[in-house]
């Protein structure tokens, strides 16, 4: 455990650094795992929050991603498989003073934990949920996950996956999420930008992170990460800007006559025809259509913030309830209703 | 007409009618008047399983039983002395529980052909002689109520129809000399905003009373004198649900920990969720979770944050919570899990009572995951049990399972309200920010083998815990064989070392038989033993409220009697535990009928062994 | 149990009637419950399927709606709370010869059973899922459900519901459902029409049925059922037709300049501006936007079929596996790998 | 150089190295050669908990142990006689399990400063005298392998680096006179498509063999003769996972019921999912469900449809399945639930073994929900246990829990392949369409108290079942008290009445101590008893494979010995059951270390009581 900076001797505590968020535990992911990059980006980003480490909590599920909690020098709760959002909801609703982060995998969040995830989103629990999507079960050594692509051969699907995968962004939007974003392990700047906005969001923020698992599903996102192709496949969403992409911004997203979104050559349709991204819209229709633009991250795929809107936050309605009643109030309660006295 | 007055030591009255007949209300009002009079009492409602069964059918019968006496009362009673039956279905579905010679008061008007058919009667039981073994009073309550209400302006005939429960209440109030003011006052309060309805109800009540006083049908009035063996104090009636809610709130106040109840609705545990949801002003937060797994997780998450995390459910919901409870065992965090047992297996009979989750509470999780289990034995006792569950959870940093049941949850009795300053303060003893530079050891232990509760927000104590096996002391993940064995032993020793009070035995001189119950059967056991004693049998009773660990003297007590009878509403679960632990050949009396144990059954079992 | 018609003596079995689908069990819903109407509609519709009752299975969860199974003279499985889709998936994948119907409530399907529902939809399990949405917990006597509106006072929310509700159609679309529809208990013709199409759909069909609970949530859908207002609030979706509604079809749905869907006066925009409903589109964007048109069924609300597309059906890939192997094949399997013989 | 040849009755060899060193492969090849030679054998792999721990670290050590002998072998052995350590981490993490005097063969080349540091060694153990109690052979395996491979065209230095496991295998093959053709043949088959690699591996293997033959370092060659006490038949090696899979498929074929395995991945049970997923050609369907609850539901749904519904999991997953298992108890439908136990509580130590789910299997559900529980005792025995689980499930229309564990699942041994025609046919005995016009009674019962299995598609038998209590016979919903009690008793009686074979006791004349195990400890118990016997102690052993109901003579057997020792990998769960049921003061030997019981421990415990 690193030294306690906030426990100083009077003066303003020195600014926090990445090192303040690194725990003393040895990281135990496979060499080359995308989890390292995300961990490093998160640790690097944390000081920006300007919240002392003791007021930050990481709650994780089970899976490779679930180990995340051990590496952060914050409070950490490594829960059981799929239940991190439930644990976090209990904490968030009773400790509004904390900054609570959930880290989960595609199996943890979308298979066994699917129900808790959609309910945390609909309730708008103030949690930052990082969903490490490697499209496979890492920790249990390589089974299919709900995001594995059709045909993928895994230990549990020797003849190839036949179930249609979830699109986590679309699912979250269907579940009433107020903040939904997607980013990529390898792009630290983008990860950091998305984290920054998620942290600032007052409510539940779901961040899908495409994460490479070199052992069981290497290269699943190479279309978006490899130098030679990434420009032509990353559609970066920026609020208020027309949606353009390609090495020379030569392509874009426009609405076809039938109402569909379609990928177009800007030269063909003209810049004005492009959709201007609007993540602040209450109506999630556009965000949903953008999410469905790519079935699979092997083609042009939007990344960035799909939706970012305000809605009442879970746990903030009614009295604050961070304090218990007094003995007097208790006495009054105990004696409420019809009473009689025997002497 | 002058009537005879007879004294009775104790009486059991059951009000039964269609769900729409207001029997719960009549029963509750009778109860309040009885409490005001100073009788000891116990009550038990019995709702239909359906939400709204068709009116007049057997499925739609709703009943309320009250047992009151001039001495201490232990149960809501077995067989009613008086049955009030507002329709044929109510008569039919309750008759089997009456002893011959009991009194039946029927609303004669309701015995129409249509109603008889709905109740599957071929012939009118009032006329075919089938009730000849009972004292039957036929009162045209509908007609008499209508007549009483007739004069009231603005009272509709619907109001009159609805007021017949108050007529019945009036009759019974006269019959047992209950004070009328209590009820009259209540009517005024309740219907104050609607004077016509208030007046109609009052008229019906008074008409019932006058009917009793004047009719020749009823020639004896009974007197049940106030109980005198009652401890001084301020009393109110509570059922187990209310008592649990109050106990949790009291523990929250006395520990200074805001309470989170996370729960998923399920009969009968939902009532606790409803009850606590009303108390937001007391630092209480309730969450209706998406399912029982989430509910347990939320309670545990709150516990991690230094709050009082509680989750409540019934049988099927317990199955779902076990994995999270196991996590709480590994995390060694305080948490209270309430199981209001109902009749199983599977969906079973959701509105009926049973005690069949004991072995699950002890062993329902994979791996070695010991935890304390406690069970209140009376409705009022639910307060103390809830309070104690919180104390144990906090002192020992452990999930605690509290086993209530449908019977306790819904049965009411007078409860002496504790004085707040008598309730012990509960010290959460959070770990303090350490300044000595030593790394924080989240799995170090105190004298109770409890580990530090270091909550987020405490500078310098950042740490990470989870369900993987942890190194003794540091809490770091460990796969080391000897460490796992040590941790397994430590977790077991911590629970085994919890201090619980010794069993108290109430033994007659020369008693050779011990009757040993647990949970909600205490009243029945003690009442049954009392009756056996009155019949001249020597017997001993004791009652277990701590199921894990067991009271320290349990083995000794068991071995000091020739025979031990363990009555349970299951197939012998406590018996199995006692046999394994103490190698004593205890005998089981098992009742698995979805109904509470009856004093008469205990009496019979005792006498069979005398 | 009614007489067995398919067990006749040689000739073609007589045509089935509603009575063939009525079990001998007494119905036990509250008087006036919307469940009666749906039961009657389903029993009436069943003969159309031309499938003998013994090849039809109803699998239900726990709740008032869950009692449905007892009243159908088919095979019936009254499962545990929330798990009907899982039970049904096991049956559907091993008994492709059966017609399998799931009946569930809003709590059963969307609260405790949310995960199974979304997975059954994504997998496209051949099930007809009827979701009786009364926006409340009926059987447990009146708590809030995930579809209860904000502010609704229930036993579990004495200060009013504060959680944002799910929109079941939107959630299903986010979960990759291939068939999603909505109908109303009181409108038997519409119910029947939707059932007919659901039955015909090859894959998972989710039918949300607005169902009135007169005891705990009376009138929740009165805007769509009451004579005087229903015409102005029911937006009936019909594939291939412009979306119009109102007593004189005077209103419609069109796309606003910013891409949103909006309710318009036909007189203002002209008929050509109206959206033509296309439930067969692979892209669920339009269906999703339609689902989000109304936050609450107190305003103009689309009913009908939102989406109806084809995708591979669960359990149909790979060998049929309705037969076990032969003893010879078993012997071969047991003796596979390296063996040696001791004599 | 001529070498001495010594005979050994049994030898335990452990290959240990980094995960990347190919130790599992070396071990498996050694096993095949050993099987071919005709020794009896048992093996146990030990994988690191991490997916890919950093190379050279303690966390990354992978090991494979084989025990082989000229007589029957009961366990994979306790302490290895020979440890092959390919790097310092492998030496360090395995040394503690070696007895003094054991042989250690190290890859000397791997003891670099860097590697020593990674293994947390301060000094080189090969040089600091810390190994003086062992017979250490330092072989520069990396160098020698590189030299052997040098000449091969197209073989890269990477291929050479990777082939050192075959060098080690060659050395060990020489040391114990294993036939070389088996391995050589395998290399050709395996790498046939890549001749350079095949050649490199072959060269490394041969070099290892020649090194053994020529070096002065190794002066004794050991001979372990073929086992002679082996029953005639065709054999193969299987681990418990494979045997379970084959048993389920065999039961599916012999019952004519297509198999559905619905499962959610979890260590170690996932392997069964993987294994069965490969057998789609055999009427087998597997579904990777969204969670364990769904998996259990799918298996039960398939059972409702007349298929063989199976679900498999490990500890935490069992918690989640309990509610559905309870439904299966109420529905009285056949279903097989496999729990491959691992070390708990909570997430615990997922890759380690334990037997601590027994009480949960029996009591893990709310309400009274009895079901049969069986536990295989050897890897090969998993076949018969799976087959029997299906037989019981079908005959008695009940869910059956089969308790395996990590140890059984991964340990291999020779298994006599059964002749298919010797396997009994299993009659699903579906209810037939009734023509007599009587209403179908889904809860009528046969001689076994089993109810009819009437599957969808059968005309005229439409019926509806669920988790609510059912009327005896008709199966209609019932809340009737006496009916519930009767149904509770019937469900219990059905399970209690299952016919299981009596306990077989292997007792020495005059034995006063009975050692009674269950599940995977059979080998250790019998081997420990054998050793105690060799030391002149009289002892008896018996092994329980049916945990519910227990063998009919269990009480009698327990009472016929002065003392009964029950060794378990838990805190005494079987002991608790036996004590409760038979009131016999059985003694527990508990080991909760995530490791199997060892014969030496049993021997010690026996002798401590002699
Ligand atoms: C109740 C339960 N079921 C199953 C498991 C086994 N398990 C652990 S992690 C995991 C899935 C991991 O996949 P994912 O969530 O995608 O995380 P990743 O390892 O890929 O980061 C599973 C099935 C468990 N620990 N608990
Ligand atoms: C595991 C479990 N948890 C809770 C319950 C209690 N329960 C029964 S039905 C129900 C909800 C009913 O609501 P809904 O699904 O909307 O159906 P409705 O009664 O409104 O038709 C609940 C919570 C249960 N039976 N099992
Ligand atoms: S298995 Fe995959 S996801 Fe897990 S640590 Fe290794 S590389 Fe990363
Ligand atoms: S409670 Fe509501 S949903 Fe349930 S049967 Fe009654 S009216 Fe219908
Ligand atoms: Mg993953
Ligand atoms: Mg509902």
- On whether both B410 and B485 belong to a single domain, the answer is no
Q: Which residues of chain B have pLDDT under 70?
A: 1-2, 434-435
- On whether both B275 and B384 belong to a single domain, the answer is yes
* Phi, psi (rounded to 5 degrees) for D114: -60, -45
Of D52, D267, D280, the CB nearest to A140: D267
State the Cα–Cα distance between residues B392 and B549, nearest whole angstrom: 12
- On whether both B283 and B317 belong to a single domain, the answer is yes
Give yes or no for a contact between C320 and D285, defined as CB atoms under 8 angstroms apart. no
State the Cα–Cα distance between residues C162 and B287, nearest whole angstrom: 11
What pLDDT score was predicted for residue A116?
A: 98
Q: Which of A129, A81, A139 is nearest to A103 (CA)?
A: A129
Give yes or no for a contact between D64 and D14, defined as CB atoms under 8 angstroms apart. yes
Residue C13's pLDDT band (cuts 50, 70, 90): low
Place of tokens 């008409």: B207
State the Cα–Cα distance between residues A60 and A39, nearest whole angstrom: 13
Of A28, A29, A159, the CB nearest to D280: A159
Asked if residue B229 belongs to a domain, the reply is no
Asked if residue D356 belongs to a domain, the reply is yes
Two structure tokens written together for B73: 């009362």
Neighbouring residues of B591: CB distance < 8 A, sequence distance ≥ 6: B567, B568, B569, B597, B601, D485
Of C124, C281, C283, the CB nearest to A164: C124
- Give whole-number Cα distances, D206 to A40, D161, D173, D201, D364, in Å: 48, 16, 10, 9, 55
State the Cα–Cα distance between residues B246 and B384, nearest whole angstrom: 9
Is beta strand D259-263 parallel, antiparallel or unpaired with respect to A244-245? unpaired
Domain-ending residue, one of B195, B223, B251:
B223
DSSP, residue by residue, D446-466? -TTSPPPB--TT-TT---EEE
Instruction: Return the residue whose CA atom lies nearest to atom 4 of ligand 3.
Output: A138
| pLDDT tens, residue by residue, C224-277 | 999 999 999 999 999 999 999 999 999 999 998 888 899 999 999 999 999 999
What pLDDT score was predicted for residue C8?
A: 42
- Please count the CA atoms within 13 angstroms of the CA of A171 that sit on its side-chain side: 32
- On whether both B249 and B198 belong to a single domain, the answer is no
State the Cα–Cα distance between residues C85 and C89, nearest whole angstrom: 6
Instruction: Return the residue whose CA atom lies nearest to atom 13 of ligand 1.
Output: A137
In this prediction the ipTM stands at: 0.96
Domain-ending residue, one of D453, D472, D499:
D499
Instruction: Count CB atoms within 10 A of the CB of residue C39.
Output: 22
- On whether both D216 and D254 belong to a single domain, the answer is no
Q: How many domains does chain D have?
A: 4
Give yes or no for a contact between A253 and A135, defined as CB atoms under 8 angstroms apart. no
What pLDDT score was predicted for residue A13?
A: 63
Residue D380 Cα to ligand 6 midpoint, Å, equals: 51
pLDDT above 70 for C162: yes
- On whether both B285 and B160 belong to a single domain, the answer is no
- On whether both D447 and D415 belong to a single domain, the answer is no
State the Cα–Cα distance between residues B160 and B147, nearest whole angstrom: 9
- On whether both B475 and B574 belong to a single domain, the answer is no
Instruction: Count CB atoms within 10 A of the CB of residue B154.
Output: 11
Give the DSSP letter of residue C276.
Answer: B
- On whether both B159 and B203 belong to a single domain, the answer is yes
Residues of chain B with pLDDT > 70, as a percent, come to 99
Handedness of CA D438, D439, D442, D445 (dihedral sign): negative
Neighbouring residues of A77: CB distance < 8 A, sequence distance ≥ 6: A57, A58, A59, A60, A69, A87, A91, B301, B304, B331, B464, B465, B466
- On whether both D477 and D518 belong to a single domain, the answer is no
- The residue whose CB lies within 8 Å of the most ligand 2 atoms, and thus the one to mutate among C39, C140, C166, C211, is C140
Residues of B in contact with C161 (CB under 8 A): none
Of B50, B52, B267, the CB nearest to C140: B267
| pLDDT tens, residue by residue, C135-158 | 999 999 999 999 999 999 999 999
Give the DSSP letter of residue C16.
Answer: P
D461·C90 Cβ contact <8 A:
no
Instruction: Tally helices (H) and strands (E) across chain A.
Output: 12, 12
Q: Which of C88, C98, C4, C16 is nearest to C55 (CA)?
A: C98
What pLDDT score was predicted for residue C3?
A: 40
Two structure tokens written together for A13: 């505590």
| pLDDT tens, residue by residue, A158-191 | 999 999 999 999 999 999 999 999 999 999 999 9
Q: Could you tell me the CATH number of the domain that includes residue D86? A: 3.40.920.10
* Phi, psi (rounded to 5 degrees) for C269: -105, -15
| pLDDT tens, residue by residue, A16-27 | 999 999 999 989
Give yes or no for a contact between B249 and B62, defined as CB atoms under 8 angstroms apart. no
Q: Name the residue in chain A with its Cα closest to that of C171.
A: A174
Neighbouring residues of D189: CB distance < 8 A, sequence distance ≥ 6: none
Asked if residue B230 belongs to a domain, the reply is no
- On whether both D371 and D329 belong to a single domain, the answer is yes
Residue C105 Cα to ligand 2 midpoint, Å, equals: 8
State the Cα–Cα distance between residues A8 and A6, nearest whole angstrom: 5
State the Cα–Cα distance between residues A119 and A111, nearest whole angstrom: 14
Asked if residue D401 belongs to a domain, the reply is yes
Strand partners, B288: B263
Instruction: Give the position, in ligand 1's atom list, of the atom nearest the Cα of D317.
Output: 1
* Phi, psi (rounded to 5 degrees) for B180: -85, -25
Of all ligands present, the nearest one to the C-alpha of D344 is 1
| Min Cα separation A115/chain D (Å) | 11
- Please count the CA atoms within 13 angstroms of the CA of A232 that sit on its side-chain side: 7
pLDDT above 90 for A260: no
Q: Which of D432, D219, D455, D206 is nearest to D334 (CA)?
A: D455
Residue A8's pLDDT band (cuts 50, 70, 90): very low
Strand partners, C184: C210
For testing contact with chain C, the best of A288, A290, A291 (most C CBs within 10 A): A288
State the Cα–Cα distance between residues B249 and A228, nearest whole angstrom: 63
Residue D435's pLDDT band (cuts 50, 70, 90): low
**To the nearest whole number, what is the mean pLDDT of chain D?**
94
Please give the residue that has the higher pLDDT: either D220 or B589: B589
Residue A166 near chain C (CB below 8 Å): yes
Instruction: Give the position, in ligand 4's atom list, of the atom nearest the Cα of C217.
Output: 2
Mean pLDDT value across residues C281-297: 92
3-state secondary structure of D242: helix
- On whether both D279 and D398 belong to a single domain, the answer is yes
pLDDT above 50 for A5: no
Residue D111's pLDDT band (cuts 50, 70, 90): very high
State the Cα–Cα distance between residues B323 and A79, nearest whole angstrom: 11
Mean pLDDT value across residues A245-274: 93
What pLDDT score was predicted for residue B583?
A: 98
Instruction: Tally helices (H) and strands (E) across chain B.
Output: 20, 23
Instruction: Return the residue whose CA atom lies nearest to atom 10 of ligand 1.
Output: A63
- Give whole-number Cα distances, C55 to C74, C97, C223, in Å: 8, 7, 38
Q: Which of C243, A342, D225 is nearest to B35 (CA)?
A: A342
The full set of domain ranges for chain C reads 18-220+312-334
Q: Give the range of the structural domain holding residue D32, as residue numbers without chain letter.
A: 4-223
Residue A309 near chain C (CB below 8 Å): no
How many residues in total does chain B contain?
A: 610
- The residue whose CB lies within 8 Å of the most ligand 2 atoms, and thus the one to mutate among C30, C33, C108, C211, is C108
Residue A12's pLDDT band (cuts 50, 70, 90): low
What pLDDT score was predicted for residue A320?
A: 67
Of all ligands present, the nearest one to the C-alpha of A61 is 1
Residues of chain B with pLDDT > 90, as a percent, come to 85
- The residue whose CB lies within 8 Å of the most ligand 1 atoms, and thus the one to mutate among D262, D264, D266, D406, is D266
State the Cα–Cα distance between residues C239 and D395, nearest whole angstrom: 52
Two structure tokens written together for D422: 């010797």
The number of angstroms, rounded, from the C-alpha of D24 to the middle of its chain's C-alpha atoms is: 17
What pLDDT score was predicted for residue A3?
A: 40
3-state secondary structure of A58: strand
3-state secondary structure of D312: strand
Helix boundaries (H) for B140-267:
141-150, 157-162, 164-175, 180-191, 195-214, 240-255
State the count of interchain CB pairs (< 8 A) between B and D: 223
Which of the other chains make 3 or more beta carbon contacts under 8 angstroms with chain C? A, B, D
Two structure tokens written together for D214: 């020529």
Neighbouring residues of C278: CB distance < 8 A, sequence distance ≥ 6: A258, C239, C240, C286
E strand map for chain A: 56-60, 75-78, 99-105, 128-133, 179-184, 205-210, 234-237, 244-245, 251-255, 261-265, 301-308, 339-342
Residue A1's pLDDT band (cuts 50, 70, 90): very low
- Give whole-number Cα distances, D568 to D254, D337, D355, D525, D556, in Å: 34, 22, 7, 10, 21
Q: Could you tell me the CATH number of the domain that includes residue B518? A: 3.40.50.920
Neighbouring residues of C310: CB distance < 8 A, sequence distance ≥ 6: C178, C202, C203
Give yes or no for a contact between C84 and C140, defined as CB atoms under 8 angstroms apart. no
Handedness of CA B544, B549, B552, B557 (dihedral sign): positive
CATH number of C18-220+312-334: 3.40.50.970
- Give whole-number Cα distances, A179 to A104, A172, B240, in Å: 17, 9, 44
Ion ligand 5, residue ranges at CB < 5 A = A 105-106, 134
Mean pLDDT value across residues D557-580: 98
Residue C1's pLDDT band (cuts 50, 70, 90): very low
State the Cα–Cα distance between residues B20 and B13, nearest whole angstrom: 19
DSSP, residue by residue, B343-371? B-STTBBTTS---TTHHHHHH-SSSS---
Q: Could you tell me the CATH number of the domain that includes residue B354? A: 3.40.50.970
Q: Which of A123, A22, A19, A3 is nearest to A70 (CA)?
A: A22
E strand map for chain C: 56-60, 75-78, 99-105, 128-133, 179-184, 205-210, 234-237, 244-245, 251-255, 261-265, 301-308, 339-342
What pLDDT score was predicted for residue C4?
A: 43
């Amino acid at each position: 455990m690193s030294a306690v900076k906030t426990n100083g001797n009077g003066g303003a505590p020195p600014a926090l650094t990445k090192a303040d968020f690194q725990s003393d535990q040895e990281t135990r992911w496979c060499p080359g795992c995308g989890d390292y990059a995300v961990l490093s980006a998160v640790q690097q980003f944390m000081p920006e929050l300007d919240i002392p480490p003791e007021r930050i909590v990481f709650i994780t599920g089970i899976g490779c991603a679930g180990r995340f909690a051990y590496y952060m020098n914050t409070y950490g709760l490594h829960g059981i498989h799929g239940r991190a959002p439930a644990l976090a909801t209990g904490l968030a609703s009773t400790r509004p003073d904390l900054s609570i982060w959930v880290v989960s995998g595609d199996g943890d969040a979308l298979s066994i934990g699917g129900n808790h995830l959609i309910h945390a989103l609909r309730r708008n629990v103030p949690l930052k949920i990082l969903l490490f999507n490697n499209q496979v079960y890492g920790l249990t050594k390589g089974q299919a996950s709900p995001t594995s692509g059709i045909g993928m051969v895994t230990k549990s699907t020797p003849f190839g996956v036949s179930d249609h995968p979830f699109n986590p962004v679309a699912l979250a939007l269907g579940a009433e999420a107020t903040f939904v974003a997607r980013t990529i392990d390898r792009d630290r700047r983008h990860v950091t930008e998305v984290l920054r906005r998620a942290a600032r969001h007052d409510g539940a923020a779901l961040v899908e992170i495409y994460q490479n698992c070199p052992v069981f599903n290497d290269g699943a996102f190479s279309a978006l990460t490899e130098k030679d192709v990434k420009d032509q496949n990353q559609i970066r969403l920026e609020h208020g800007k027309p949606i353009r992409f390609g090495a020379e911004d030569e392509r874009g997203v426009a609405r076809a006559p039938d109402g569909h979104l379609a990928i177009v050559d800007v030269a063909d349709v003209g810049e004005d025809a492009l959709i201007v991204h609007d993540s602040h819209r209450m109506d999630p229709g556009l965000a949903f259509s953008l999410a469905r633009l790519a079935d699979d991250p092997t083609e042009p795929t939007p990344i960035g913030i799909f939706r970012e809107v305000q809605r009442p936050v879970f746990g903030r309605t009614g009295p604050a309830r961070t304090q218990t009643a007094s003995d007097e109030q208790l006495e009054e309660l105990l004696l409420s209703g019809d009473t009689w006295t025997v002497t | 007409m002058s009537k005879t007055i007879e004294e009775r030591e104790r009486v059991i009255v059951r009000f039964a009618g269609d769900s729409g007949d207001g029997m719960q209300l009549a029963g509750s009002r009778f109860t309040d008047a009885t409490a005001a009079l100073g009788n000891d009492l116990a009550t038990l409602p019995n709702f239909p399983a359906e939400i709204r069964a068709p009116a007049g059918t057997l499925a739609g019968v709703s009943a309320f039983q009250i047992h009151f006496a001039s001495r201490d009362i232990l149960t809501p009673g077995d067989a009613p002395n008086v049955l009030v039956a507002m329709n044929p279905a109510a008569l039919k579905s309750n008759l089997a529980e009456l002893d011959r010679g009991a009194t039946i008061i029927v609303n004669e008007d309701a015995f129409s052909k249509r109603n008889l058919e709905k109740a599957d009667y071929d012939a009118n039981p009032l006329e075919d002689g089938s009730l000849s073994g009972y004292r039957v009073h036929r009162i045209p309550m509908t007609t008499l109520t209508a007549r009483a209400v007739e004069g009231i302006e603005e009272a509709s005939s619907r109001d009159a129809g609805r007021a017949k429960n108050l007529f019945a209440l009036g009759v019974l109030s006269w019959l047992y000399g209950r004070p009328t003011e209590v009820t009259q006052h209540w009517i005024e309060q309740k219907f104050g905003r609607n004077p016509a309805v208030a007046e109609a109800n009052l008229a019906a009540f008074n008409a019932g009373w006058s009917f009793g006083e004047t009719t020749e049908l009823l020639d004896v009035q009974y007197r049940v004198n106030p109980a005198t063996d009652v401890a001084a104090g301020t009393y109110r009636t509570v059922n187990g649900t209310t008592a649990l809610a109050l106990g949790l709130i009291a523990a929250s106040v006395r520990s200074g920990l805001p309470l989170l109840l996370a729960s998923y609705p399920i009969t009968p545990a939902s009532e606790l969720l409803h009850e606590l949801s009303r108390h937001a002003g007391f630092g209480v937060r309730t969450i209706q979770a998406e399912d029982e797994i989430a509910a347990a997780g939320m309670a545990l998450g709150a516990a991690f944050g230094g709050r009082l995390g509680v989750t409540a459910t019934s049988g099927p919901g317990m199955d779902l919570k076990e994995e999270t409870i196991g996590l709480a065992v590994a995390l060694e965090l305080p948490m209270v899990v309430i199981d209001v047992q109902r009749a199983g297996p599977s969906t079973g009979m959701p509105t009926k009572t049973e005690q069949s989750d004991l072995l699950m509470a002890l062993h329902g999780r994979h791996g070695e995951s010991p935890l304390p289990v406690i069970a209140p034995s009376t409705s009022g006792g639910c307060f103390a049990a809830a309070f104690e569950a919180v104390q144990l959870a906090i002192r020992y940093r452990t999930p605690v399972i509290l086993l209530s049941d449908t019977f306790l949850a819904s049965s009411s009795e007078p409860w002496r309200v504790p004085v707040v300053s008598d309730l012990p303060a509960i010290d959460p003893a959070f770990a303090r920010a350490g300044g000595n530079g030593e790394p924080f050891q989240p799995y170090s232990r105190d004298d109770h083998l409890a580990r530090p509760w270091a909550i987020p927000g405490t500078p310098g104590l950042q740490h990470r815990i989870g369900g993987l096996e942890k190194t003794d002391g540091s809490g770091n993940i460990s796969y080391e064989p000897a460490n796992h064995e040590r941790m397994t032993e430590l977790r077991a020793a911590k629970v085994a070392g919890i201090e619980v009070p010794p069993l108290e035995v109430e033994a007659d001189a020369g008693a050779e038989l011990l009757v040993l119950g647990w949970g909600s059967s205490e009243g029945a056991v003690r009442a049954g033993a009392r009756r056996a004693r009155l019949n001249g049998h020597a017997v001993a009773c004791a009652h277990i409220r701590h199921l894990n660990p067991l009271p320290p003297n349990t083995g000794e007590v068991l071995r000091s009697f020739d025979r031990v009878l363990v009555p349970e509403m299951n197939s012998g679960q406590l018996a199995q535990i006692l046999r394994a632990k103490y190698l004593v050949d205890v005998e089981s009396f098992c009742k698995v009928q979805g109904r509470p144990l009856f004093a008469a059954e205990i009496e019979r079992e005792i006498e069979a062994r005398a």
